[in-house]
């Protein structure tokens, strides 16, 4: 058990803090929601009622979809785009899909390589692009979930103000949806862009997200 925890400590840590953050958000969100209900002379709801409400899931999905968009774009962009001196970029000479030898596929595999890495055709293509495909699929799934949750919240507010609800398709082109979407996207783009630049000049000893402390500023795509 100790070995399992040590060898998987990074993923375990982030899933634990994810659970804690979502739980904390649900408690804080419940108090905020019920405070607004009381201010408008309406009934409050339980924690279970809140975590199954569109208000809660709209807030959660707005954040999740932007994170998976960030990773999907970063994975795709770093195949072809480079940043001299950045640890977030591949070396300048490796632009593109790279050779079979460098990717260790086909005749360059080892006994420990995935089976599909030794094959050709759609199975090799699927394995070669599986990370981007899964990340992008999750992005579109969470984006769709966000739009549906936000749509329900929007229509509830429409009814409260004596106005007509709108269809999901109409909501997808409504400024309310895009204002919520784009405010999340721009923060992700800012984070990735600054990380790419900061790793040119800044270091963190022992972190694979940083180049070695003594590496030249223009050294590209190396980890410390």
pLDDT tens digits for range 112-130: 999 999 999 999 999 999 9
pLDDT tens digits for range 84-98: 999 899 988 999 999
What's the rounded Cα separation, in Å, for the pair 95 and 103?
13
* Residue 2, pLDDT score: 87
Q: Do 113 and 104 form a contact (C-beta atoms < 8 A)?
A: yes
DSSP 8-class letter at 117: G
Percent of the chain surpassing pLDDT 90: 83
Q: Higher confidence at residue 155 or residue 161?
A: 155
State the alpha helices, DSSP H only, in the chain.
Answer: 2-7, 9-39, 47-51, 54-80, 100-103, 122-128, 130-160, 168-171, 175-201
Return the closest-CA partner of residue 66 out of 153, 183, 193, 168: 183
What's the rounded Cα separation, in Å, for the pair 107 and 9?
34
Residue 224: pLDDT band with limits 50, 70, 90: low
């Amino acid at each position: 058990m100790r070995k399992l925890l040590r060898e998987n400590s990074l993923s375990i840590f982030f899933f634990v803090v994810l659970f804690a953050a979502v739980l904390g958000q649900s408690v804080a969100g419940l108090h905020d929601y019920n405070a607004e209900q009381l201010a408008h002379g309406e009934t409050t709801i339980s924690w279970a009622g809140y975590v199954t409400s569109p208000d809660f899931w709209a807030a959660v999905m707005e954040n999740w979809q932007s994170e998976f968009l960030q990773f999907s774009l970063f994975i795709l962009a770093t195949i072809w785009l480079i940043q001299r001196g950045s640890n977030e970029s591949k070396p300048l000479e490796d632009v593109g899909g790279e050779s079979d030898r460098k990717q260790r596929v086909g005749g360059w595999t080892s006994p420990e390589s995935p089976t599909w890495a030794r094959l050709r055709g759609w199975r090799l293509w699927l394995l070669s692009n599986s990370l981007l495909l899964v990340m992008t699929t999750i992005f579109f799934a969470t984006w769709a979930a966000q739009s549906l949750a936000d749509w329900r919240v929007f229509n509830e507010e429409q009814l409260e103000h004596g106005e007509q609800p709108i269809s999901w398709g109409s909501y997808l082109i409504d400024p309310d949806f895009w204002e919520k979407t784009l405010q999340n996207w721009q923060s992700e783009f800012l984070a990735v862009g600054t990380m790419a630049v900061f790793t040119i000049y800044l270091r963190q000893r022992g972190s694979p997200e940083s180049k070695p402390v003594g590496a030249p500023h223009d050294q590209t795509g190396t980890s410390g």
